[in-house]
Structure formats: C-alpha cells, structure tokens
A = this chain, B = another copy of it.
C-alpha cells in the first residue's frame, strides 16, 4: 500500500502515467503534452517513477540524444486502477 501511494501521490504522477498509457514518449513530447509542468519537476517525477519500477528509459545512441520513456508491465497494470479511482472520484463529486 505504501508503495502504491508513493507512486501515485506525487503532484504530477497520474498525468504523467496517463500520458504514457497512450504510448511511449520522449522528454520533449512529455513537455508538449503537459505544458504546465516545469522541466525540473518533470525530470524529478520521471526519475522517481523510474526508480519505483513503474517506467523505464531507453537512451538512443543518436545525435541529438533522445530518450524514450515507456511503462513497464507493472506500470501498465495501473490503467484499470486509475480508471477506478477516476470513476470513484467523479461519483463523489456528483453526490455533493
């Protein structure tokens, strides 16, 4: 439980994960998808999720350098859980 909350509770964690659920992304593609998210915070969040085993990075040996971020199998299993949380939250908001 701690581990799960540690992954999900960062300010930008779920937007980042939801974006990657749609497919692999490079750093700048993430930037474009989440324009309000500052570089440093994006880097922090990616590093944290990398270390948590939710996603992985592939550095490509080209110029200019590129990285690709992708969810691990475990990360992908968050999809249905995030959906359930979204639905639950909407129900909560509707009821009040």
- A residues adjacent to B (C-beta < 8 A): 1-5, 7-9, 14, 52-54, 74, 77-78, 80-82, 84-86, 88-93, 95-96
Copies in the complex: 2
Assess whether B82 is in contact with A81, with CB atoms less than 8 Å apart: no
Could you tell me the distance in whole angstroms from the C-beta of A87 to the nearest C-beta in chain B? Answer: 9
* A92 → chain B closest CB, angstroms: 5
* Set of chain B residues within 8 Å of A84, measured between Cβ atoms: 80-81, 84
Q: Which secondary structure dominates where chain A touches chain B?
A: helix
Q: Are A95 and B82 in contact (CB under 8 A)?
A: no
Contact B77 A88 (CB under 8 A): yes
Q: Which of B14, B53, B86, B90 contacts A96 (CB 8 A)?
A: B53
